[in-house]
Amino acid sequence: MTSRLEIDYACCTETGAKSQNADAADARIPPDDLLLSKGVAAVIADGMSSSEGGHEASQICVTGFLNDYFSTPESWSVKTSASKILSALNTWLCGQGQSRYDSPKGMVTTLSVAVIKSTTAHLFHVGDSRIYLYREQKLKQQTKDHRVWVSRDQDLLSRAMGIDSHLEIDYRSLALQVNDLLLFTTDGVHDFLTDRQLQKLLREHQGNLQQAANAITVTALEQGSNDNVTCQLLKVMALPDEQIDDIYQRVAELPFPPNLLPGMNIDGFQIMREIHASKRSEVYLAINDETGERVALKTPSVNFSDDPDFLNGFLNEEWIGRRINNTHVLKVHKPGRRRFLYHVTVYLDGQTLRQRMDDLGQMDLEQTREYLTQIISGLRAFHRMEMIHQDLKPDNILINKNGILKIIDFGSTRIAGVQEQHNNNSQIPLGTINYTAPEYLDGTPGSHRSDIFSLGVIAYEMLTGTLPYGDHEQALPARKMGYQSAREHNPAVPAWIDGALRKATHPLPEKRYEALSEFLQDMTHPNPELITLRQKPLLERHPLGFWKTLTALLFLTNLVTLLLLFATQ
């Protein structure tokens, strides 16, 4: 293996017996950085012959997908990126078909897409164009024809782009090997050539992809094809090592900086003073010599110089901070030339939420809601880019002099797009136990609901000054977690707020809120369903009062029994 994906490509399309070529096919192999984060994309489409705008529909789908896919955020997974683009294209085709051709089927086309990222091929398909895998001289169809036969000689497309506003796309992923070949065809080819014939042509021209593509289309026409004929080929020449990330590798080769002292200068940054230090990193206030701007310079601790997981998290932090643009997320500056490993962020003059909570103790509802709204705004920016923070806690939220909250420390953040490069979903985040969702401890990959758990714990602590499941040094399994009502610690907390906190911090992720907006809604507007939630028994809510009452009742019962006995004698 090499550290780089290498693909060979060829395509051939012919109008054939038709007056117009409604087929379209193309592929894009981007520059190195995008090759790593987005991969290679190839598309084939066949405009439906009975659709007036079929020719235009196929062209728009091919060019539209290739243009839009490489413009999606690098943090998005292939599946998310492709699904959003295909849905948008389908909606546009449906609308244009109706408005321009006065027909719900005015612009209809098949579409088959392959995105090769890292060592995996992601296939998206609708219609009856096809994608095959040719491996070790054996050909196997990877897509399913969406056809309905209305008679022995006639069939119709049951699914295609532009037919229905509700798009149902087939998706599958394939683990690739070097020398694998993906063959794309339209029905003008595969309706007239058998799998055995295609296999024979690929074997005969295995040394030249373009000759193979040409031979397949020519042979299909010779076999009597009365349709447009298109063949597209992608061959895997080399696959990247799953453990190497080229972008990170270049930065990771930089040495750790020395111990920095006031007055020192590093790459044009004048060190003023140390702001924060922990066993994992140090943060310094510095002045940019060129602009005079005050910045924060974060350096990794030399204690972790041989820890690849820590290093990966430190590099992730810079990557994330440069891509999220939200008022409530700490911004990381794009670095210039540097001789050492560090990253530069906006300098915030303020305190952490932990410090604010220690100063104020229990907060009122108004203050809690204000802070919660800001945190949710920042957290939503992560989730929209398919990132899970995984270490949300009061220490990782900064409040500046103007009362603006910002989420910091992205070292544990899971990035869907980067996960695809490493094929690693089992790492447990290095979060603080009391704020970490319990599903992580079972080895289950976290989700946005895991962040909602952490957020719920923070909201609970702001209102009560304590934690919903107590303070533990070791994590508790979900089955042993018992929620303590917030009203026990702060009677001013309404029952419906307590219900919202209980739901947000439920041990089981499927019982929590699905969306951040739902949690915020229930924290600001009474939800009748939460108000009517079953209250805890008196024994759980006030155990001492319960036993006192029970003892008094037993005493009275015994006293009455004695009086009755004496009365009957």
Per-residue model confidence as pLDDT tens digits over 133-145: 999 999 999 999 9
The yes or no reply on domain 254-346 and CATH 3.20.20.70 is no
CA distances from 386 to 80, 317, 328 (A): 9, 15, 17
The position carrying tokens 């994608």 is: 131
Q: Is the pLDDT of residue 193 over 60?
A: yes
Average pLDDT over residues 139-166: 89
Tens digits of per-residue pLDDT, 453-493? 999 999 999 999 999 998 876 667 677 788 999 999 999 99
Task: Label residue 131 by pLDDT band (50, 70, 90).
Answer: very high
Instruction: Give the residue with greater pLDDT, 562 vs 290.
Output: 290
**41 beta partners:** 28, 115
Q: Enter the tokens of residue 238.
A: 């080399």
Res 252 pLDDT > 70:
no
Strand partners, 157: 147
Torsion 494-500-501-506 (CA) sign: positive
CA pair distance 6, 29, nearest whole angstrom: 9
What is the predicted pLDDT for the residue at 496?
Answer: 95
**Residues 432-445, mean pLDDT to the nearest whole number:** 85
Residue 250, pLDDT > 80, answer no
Q: What is the pLDDT of residues 503-539, one digit of tens each?
A: 999 999 999 999 999 999 999 999 988 875 445 555 5
Does the pLDDT value for residue 152 go beyond 80?
no
What's the token pair of residue 382?
Answer: 């992560």
Looking at residue 357, its pLDDT comes to 95
pLDDT band at 426 (very low <50, low <70, confident <90, very high): very low
Tell the CATH topology of 351-533. Answer: Transferase(Phosphotransferase); domain 1 (1.10.510)
pLDDT of residue 245: 47
Question: pLDDT at position 303, please?
Answer: 84
| pLDDT at residue 234 tops 90 | yes
What is the pLDDT of the chain when averaged over all its residues? 89
What is the pLDDT at residue 70?
93
Q: What is the pLDDT of residue 244?
A: 39
Which CATH number is 7-240 given?
A: 3.60.40.10
Of the candidates 168, 158, 56, 45, the residue with the CA atom closest to the CA atom of residue 107: 56
> Closest Cα partner for 380 from 332, 456, 425, 324?
324
**Predicted local distance difference test score (pLDDT) of residue 137:** 93
* Residue from 314, 332, 320 nearest 386 by CA: 320
**Least confident among 184-198, 349-363, 527-541:** 527-541
Question: For residue 328, what pLDDT is reported?
Answer: 97
Average of per-residue pLDDT across 394-403: 95
Contact 23, 47 (CB under 8 A): yes
Out of 29-33, 153-157, 428-432, 485-489, pick the least confident: 428-432
User: Parallel, antiparallel, or unpaired: how do β-strands 181-185 and 130-135 relate?
Assistant: antiparallel
Query: H helices of 243-364, where?
Result: 246-252, 308-323, 353-360
Largest CA distance in the chain: 119
pLDDT in tens, 267-289: 999 999 999 998 889 999 999 99
Return the SS3 of 141: strand
> Residue 298 is encoded by which pair of tokens?
């974060």
> Stretch 551-565: mean pLDDT, rounded?
79
Q: Tell me what pLDDT residue 537 has.
A: 55
pLDDT, residue 463, reads: 97
- The answer on pLDDT for 297 being more than 90 is yes
pLDDT band at 243 (very low <50, low <70, confident <90, very high): very low
pLDDT band at 390 (very low <50, low <70, confident <90, very high): very high
Instruction: Give the pLDDT of residue 532.
Output: 56
